[in-house]
Structure 1
């Protein structure tokens, strides 16, 4: 099983809980069926999943009142102000040349990493995603990397000699998630499980099958002890950093769980969510 937290956290100060909403989120109910997700090429259809998934109603707290108390090494997610000069997030070249550099600088600022490699990004929309060649919001409780796939992705990305050197020191994978619409998010916000409320049994290995390769992610197994948070009405100048993997096993958060959900306070005519997540490895000396 993955090592979620290896040390006693009883002496840590937990952030106080504030206002909340109740909403269903999609978990694995159990492991009676091995979870597998089949991701078709962009523009050809929606992902197909195998596994005993069920919706569970959870209480999701507004984390804005205690945002300054959140930590990547405790909760595994933070919200920060982050201006961007990107004009069109649907312009692939502009995102790769301009936004990737902004994400690299942001992760260095927030983590103190010696080197950051931004290697991927995904634009998601709740408005005609397949027709537009984009992805839809992910409505299952998951984490993007596993104990195995984190190091493997480093080997995929870096020259062999550098990869082996980097893997001997601490490294982590972060997702940077933001709203790309000019108006605040009204539909399908992202919810997060406080990593301090997770147990190793909550993370189930799920094969992620593409046309040309098979990877691994974790799917979340339902645990009534999970503490959920979100940031309502996110604006374009805000970014969430999500830690999806950390090689260090010293008691800090190593993995996270997150999912889009239907906010019951959203207006009836809510604007379709449009977002981008960039993925990056941070390497520490």
Structure 2
């Protein structure tokens, strides 16, 4: 069933906007929300090389996704296996620890590093940023014909999710919709800040939005930040699910990020 929900776009500004993983009081993103229709992705045949996202069955051996040690020990190999199967890449490298995020209703949003839901539309890294990451990570003795950066996202709190994840079909974008911004990581405990360029998304009424309602812990939503061949990153955003009842469990989710390589 399609729904209409508020999508938090970024306004076009005369300055480069920035946002922080933890201290959002320092964000300079100017929000420009618009009500947009969101299609039910379960009624579509989505493709990573077309729309830029796809929902797949995926049963993990992780028994508790809140257990960071268990996730770090078990889950990266599962993500590598999944992405090799779904993309046909020659090699996949997980690039970061699992990112746990919680809806505000849980009381856990913001209680750990980068644990707020992503409340404005973004793409995790620009094409230039991903190219730099790929050049740094690629083996020196191989010729890379193609690379892509993937996110693997799952909700493990039970259905329906009070705060869902909506994705924009890249084919409905025009290049000018993507706004370069700075994503700043400000780790708790006083560790040095670091960052890179990402994209925000300006509103365009032609955008086509999709979400996958009623996700279970045995499903994974794969979507792209960048692809050197297909150039179809999937902007995404957390949104309040209008179909979720007041007693819906607060959303808890885990995100893994990985680079895939195809060799000549």
Calculate the TM-score normalised by the size of structure 2. Answer: 0.90
Pairwise CA distance, 1:131: 2.8
Q: 2:199 — aligned with what?
A: 218
Is the CA contact 2:21–2:114 (under 8 Å) kept in the aligned structure 1? no
Is the CA contact 1:142–1:259 (under 8 Å) kept in the aligned structure 2? yes
Calculate the TM-score normalised by the size of structure 1. Answer: 0.83
Is the CA contact 1:46–1:130 (under 8 Å) kept in the aligned structure 2? no
Pairwise CA distance, 1:83: 0.6
SS state of the match for residue 217, structure 2? coil
1:1-285 equivalences under 5 Å are 19-40=1-22, 45-46=23-24, 48-66=26-44, 69-120=45-96, 121-126=98-103, 127=106, 128-133=108-113, 135-157=115-137, 161=140, 165=142, 168-181=144-157, 183-210=158-185, 211-248=192-229, 252-285=230-263
1:215-268 Cα distance to aligned partner (Å, 9 max, x none): 1111011111000010111011111110111011xxx34211110101111111
Once structures 1 and 2 are overlaid, which stretch shifts more, 254-263 or 205-214? 205-214
SS state of the match for residue 148, structure 2? strand
Is the CA contact 1:37–1:47 (under 8 Å) kept in the aligned structure 2? no
In structure 2, distance between residues paired with 1:154 and 1:79: 25
In structure 1, distance between residues paired with 2:31 and 2:202: 9
- Size of the aligned set, in residue pairs, is 253
1:61-89 Cα distance to aligned partner (Å, 9 max, x none): 111112xx211111000001111110111
Q: Give RMSD over aligned pairs.
A: 1.8
In structure 1, distance between residues paired with 2:112 and 2:18: 25
1:108–1:260: structure 2 CA closer, same or farther, 3 Å change rule?
A: same
In structure 2, stretches of 5+ residues that fail to align are 186-191
In structure 1, distance between residues paired with 2:231 and 2:160: 28
SS state of the match for residue 170, structure 1? strand
In structure 1, stretches of 5+ residues that fail to align are 1-18
In structure 2, distance between residues paired with 1:75 and 1:169: 21
1:192-230 Cα distance to aligned partner (Å, 9 max, x none): 111111111111110112343221111011111000010
Pairwise CA distance, 1:158: 5.1
